[in-house]
Amino acid sequence: EAGVTQSPTHLIKTRGQQATLRCSPISGHTSVYWYQQALGLGLQFLLWYDEGEERNRGNFPPRFSGRQFPNYSSELNVNALELEDSALYLCATKPHDRDRWGVNSPLHFGNGTRLTVT
Amino acid sequence: AQKVTQAQTEISVVEKEDVTLDCVYETRDTTYYLFWYKQPPSGELVFLIRRNSFDEQNEISGRYSWNFQKSTSSFNFTITASQVVDSAVYFCALSERNYGGSQGNLIFGKGTKLSVKP
């Protein structure tokens, strides 16, 4: 079974440009989460999509946005890039928890996209 | 508010030593989930264990063991007879169950970098 795949692996942009990062979930997974891992800041939650809808958003400015497609893959867009946006961006997926009291499935992570803003 | 604290930023041990990674969490919810993930140098986060709030039974998996104590809000991780391949960053994470039954995002600690020297 293929794992979570992210593309590109590395991305180099200059300040003010836009970056688009992509994530393909494991087959059968409908929830997609995006995290930013910047040096010294740990993993910061960015966005959560489930069945095409944005379900939750972390404490990031509006220039961080995304969407989820009908096939449950997802894009993360970062507009007006700033130097401090340089980080590893991780995508994670899981099945939808339909049972209210069901077991909380763990997240499965991709290898990430290393974004460098110069 | 939800919070996960991993007070140990870096730990260095010699192979075959036992090592314990500490995790303390804060949550207002009575139903929540705790996780440990491993991040090797390749970048991908690898799921290690999930524990829900109503199951305080400790768990052992090979050289790994986890001690969950609700009274002290701690979920510590012990590696017995450490090996060089255990070198990685280890993250503890918390997830609350939102009203409506869907899991929210994971809140991660800042991670503990474990270096196991031969």
Per-residue three-class SS string for B96-108: EECCCCCECCCEE
CB-based contact B44 A110, cutoff 8 Å = yes
CB-based contact A92 B45, cutoff 8 Å = yes
CB-based contact A112 B43, cutoff 8 Å = yes
Radius of gyration of chain B (CA): 14
Q: pLDDT tens, A94-103? A: 877 654 444 5
Cβ contacts of B103 on chain A, cutoff 8 Å: 94, 97, 104-105
Q: For A67-78, what is the mean pLDDT?
A: 97
Best CA proximity match to A44, nearest among A55, A32, A31, A57: A57
Among A58, A97, A105, beta carbon nearest to B101: A97
Residue A93 CB neighbour total at 10 angstroms: 26
CB-based contact B105 A41, cutoff 8 Å = no
A52 is written with which tokens?
């095409």
Best CA proximity match to B64, nearest among B74, B75, B56: B75
> What pLDDT sits at residue A99?
45
Q: How far is B114 from chain A (nearest CA, A)?
A: 15
> What pLDDT sits at residue B102?
47
Q: pLDDT tens, B27-39? A: 988 888 899 999 9
Cβ contacts of B46 on chain A, cutoff 8 Å: 109
CB-based contact B44 A104, cutoff 8 Å = no
The pLDDT-based confidence of A75 (bands split at 50, 70, 90) is very high
Best CA proximity match to A25, nearest among A69, A78, A61, A64: A69
For B32-117, where are the E strands, in sequence order?
32-39, 46-52, 59-61, 64-69, 74-79, 88-96, 107-108, 112-117
> What pLDDT sits at residue B99?
40
CA dihedral B67, B69, B73, B79 (to 10 degrees): -10
Q: How far is A101 from chain B (nearest CA, A)?
A: 7
Cβ contacts of A49 on chain B, cutoff 8 Å: none
> What pLDDT sits at residue A98?
59
Q: For B50-66, what is the mean pLDDT?
A: 87
Q: pLDDT tens, A24-40? A: 999 988 889 999 999 87
| C-alpha–C-alpha distance, residues B51 and A83, integer Å | 38
Q: For A74-88, what is the mean pLDDT?
A: 97
Q: How far is B68 from chain A (nearest CA, A)?
A: 17
Q: pLDDT tens, A17-28? A: 999 999 999 998
Decide: A15 and A83 in contact? Cβ < 8 Å. Answer: yes
Decide: B106 and B35 in contact? Cβ < 8 Å. Answer: yes
